[in-house]
Amino acid sequence: MFDKFTEGKNPLVAVFSSNNSFELGVAAEILNDNDIPFVAKEKGAGGYMKVIAGGFSIYATELYVRKDDEERARELLIVLTDVPEDFELSY
């Protein structure tokens, strides 16, 4: 599937990486909602470790998009990667 997704002259680029299933789900929804196709690729034993660890893994999963979609994807995903240093949760 990875090869079929990259057919032609539009290679894939990694735009997001996390070992947290919740963050990956949010990132995937952001891309889906904006009609940006993506492929998720797990590193190491990724999927098996998530089952055991309950959604977290020592291995990251990367989300890849086509090079033509990279700029837009990064703009959309900035909300997950650019947290101000003085950010605090208040309950």
Which residues make Cβ contacts (< 8 Å) with residue 50, sequence separation at least 6?
21, 56, 57
Query: What domains appear along the chain, each with residue ranges and CATH number?
Result: 2-80 (3.30.70.790)
**Residue 76, Cβ neighbours under 10 Å: how many?**
18
DSSP 8-state assignment for residue 44: T
The answer to whether the pTM exceeds 0.95 is no
Name the DSSP letter for residue 55.
S
pLDDT tens digits, 33-89: 999 999 988 876 544 444 444 555 567 889 999 999 999 999 999 988 766 666 676
**Which helix H or strand E contains 22, and what residues bound it?**
helix 21-33
Asked if the model's pLDDT at residue 26 lies above 80, the reply is yes
User: Would you place residue 4 in the very low, low, confident or very high pLDDT band (cuts 50, 70, 90)?
Assistant: low
Question: Is the CB of residue 28 less than 8 Å from the CB of residue 63?
Answer: yes
